[in-house]
A and B are shown apart, each in its own frame.
Chain A
Amino acid sequence: MTELLEPAALTGTAGLVDDRPAEGFFRVDRAALVDEAVFAEEQKAVFDRCWLYVGHTSEIAAPGDFRARTVAGRPLILWRGTDGEVRVFLNACRHRGAQLCRVPDGNARGMSCFYHAWTYSNDGRLTGLPDADGYGPGFDRSRFGLSSPPGVDVYRGFVFCCFDPDAVDLPTYLGEARDYLDLVADQSPEMEVVEGMHEYSMEANWKLFVENSLDGYHLIPLHRTYFDYLKATEDSYLDPRRPTEARDLGGGHAVITVEGPWARPVARWTPAMGEENRDYVEARRTELEERFDADRARRIATTDRNLLVFPNLVINDIMGVVIRTITPTAAGRTVIAQWTLATKGEPESVRARRLDSYVTFQGPGGLATPDDMEACESCQQGFATAAESPWSDISRGIHKEAAGGPFTAADEVQQRAFWRRWRDLLGLR
């Protein structure tokens, strides 16, 4: 994303991010979280320029499979062609723009626009044109295939797109975050997104939930009822003295890591998983040790991680893998979409345990996520005092930056990584 920075377009708002590590300061002007002009600017500077998550290849496993998705406000079709190729199309007829795909998912060799019946094959070609004689000899139907975003690429099954034709390629964009996507993708020879998605929302700025997704500091105070539940039902609890790590991965990407006490389907068996699953889970660990060296097998199997791929993709690999996108629809409104990624072919009892662990903690009906939404909304409401109290403090651990860390998950270096990239993209530096 080099050479994309423009001079600050927000006259008078330069300095939204007050970053003075030598003085132990890092604070964000709450205008960055409430101002609709900032929202409009970040649509252009961030969402129109960064690589954004669309879906996973396993969601369109068979030729012809498709999913309708909305990314950065654009309706898209994630579609596997009869030729096996994964493509992303803009979900708008080339003729007059009506949405071609009007169902959430399915399988089709082609789609026909309901308005004038222009028809496209699943490789995007315009194959059907009613009353074609009405077009003159200069009309070249090969120029009217479905359009795609300027950038579409797949990394380890994760499909991304980018609306900036001048962006760097996806591997370069992902940078060090690739290693952490690998830790998820390498959990088994084949991973699959489980059917069903969570979609929920909050009346708060999207960046608050990005911060929350990387925030080890809030876990014990905010999620007490969840940890009480884990203690009561599984006798596992998060010891605050347990070592954790936070890393700025560059490019706005960041990760926090802990080795938690809870069960992981890949691959940390605890009694909570049931004796019947012990052999299976322990065999997964052995399999990883055969495929990788011992340290990498350990990282895959027993480290719990929350990864941010800038700007809005979060991958939580804790009791299972959660794929989360955080999308603003206004300065004070955010929609979150979540899926879970699992080992293909795992036993039903392991799959059931995985899904139950996920929904108990996460999502709109979990024992924890509604409190995260409440916290972010409460912050947003508190920002009504922004004129008098403009700054949010994000300085935990900043005194360790000169030495390069090490940082814990309860530090905020991971959130600063996000904000510094955001600031650079908005040209506010």
Chain B
Amino acid sequence: MTGPLTTVPAALQHEVEQFLYREAALLDGWRLDEWFALMHPDVEYRVPAPGSDHLDPRHTLQVIHDDHTRLGGRVVRLTSKHAHAESPRSRTRRFVTNVRLDGPPGETGEITVAANFHVMRTRLGKLDHFLGTYRFVLVPDGAGFLVRERVATLDHGIVEAGGTVSIIL
């Protein structure tokens, strides 16, 4: 994201931002089935292990590395009453900011987006903060997008954020 400021059409910038806000709102609202419907069949959802996010993910242990099947399994788990780490559920509030498009859509229509996030989680009288950056690859789908890649890279260790990542970041 260096170099000259990109000349992304304002309407597209707006559209992408609104998509990210909607995605975040679905997660905050625990509307996980609707959220999962925004995922492309080839989706990769990844949270790198803090400290090794600069290394090739194919050869590096990740905290979360979900394809569509595993992410679907995560959603099924989180919506069941047996996901004990999320029973009772966390309340989350997501701030997605500094949204930057890599440029106009390529020939396939894919858009790569970088953003900052601050996810606050409250549960059982504790408040945890997750800070970091998102990388999204969005694929046009009808009037909106599907998420083909979703990488949440934390600026800090998980020990500093309540100990586990039991929510979707």
What residues of chain A have their CB less than 8 Å away from a CB belonging to chain B? Answer: 104, 194-203, 222, 224-226, 228-229, 232-233, 335, 339-340, 348, 351-352, 355-356, 358-360, 363-365, 367, 369-371, 373-375
Contacts and interface: CB of A to CB of B under 8 A. Distances in A.
Nearest to A329: B159
27 contacts: A194-B59, A195-B55, A195-B59, A196-B48, A196-B52, A198-B61, A199-B157, A200-B163, A201-B163, A202-B164, A224-B82, A225-B77, A225-B83, A228-B77, A233-B73, A348-B58, A355-B61, A355-B62, A356-B65, A364-B165, A365-B47, A365-B63, A367-B73, A367-B74, A371-B83, A371-B84, A374-B166
Contact of B158 (A194, A200, A339): A200
Given A200-B158, A365-B164, A355 B49 contact: no
A360 B163 contact: no
Contacts of B164: 200, 202, 364-365, 369-370, 373
Determine chain A's interface SS by DSSP, over half rule.
helix
B84 A374 contact: yes
A229 B73 contact: yes
Interface of B: 47-52, 55, 58-65, 69-70, 73-74, 76-77, 80, 82-86, 157-159, 163-166
A232 B73 contact: yes
A198 B49 contact: yes
Nearest to B53: A196
A225 B78 CA distance: 9
A200 B162 CA distance: 8
A363 B164 CA distance: 8
Contacts of A358: 61
A369 B166 CA distance: 9
A63 to B, nearest CB: 21
A228 B79 CA distance: 13
A370 B58 contact: no
B61 A199 contact: no
A222 B85 CA distance: 10
B63 to A, nearest CB: 4
Contacts of B82: 224-225, 228
A359 B63 CA distance: 6
Contacts of B52: 195-197
Nearest to B62: A359
Nearest to A225: B77
* Closest 9 pairs between A and B when the two form their complex, measured CB to CB: A196-B61, A370-B85, A201-B163, A365-B64, A225-B77, A196-B52, A370-B166, A365-B165, A196-B60
A195 B163 contact: no
A367 B77 CA distance: 8
Contacts of A194: 59-61
Nearest to B80: A225
A195 B58 CA distance: 10
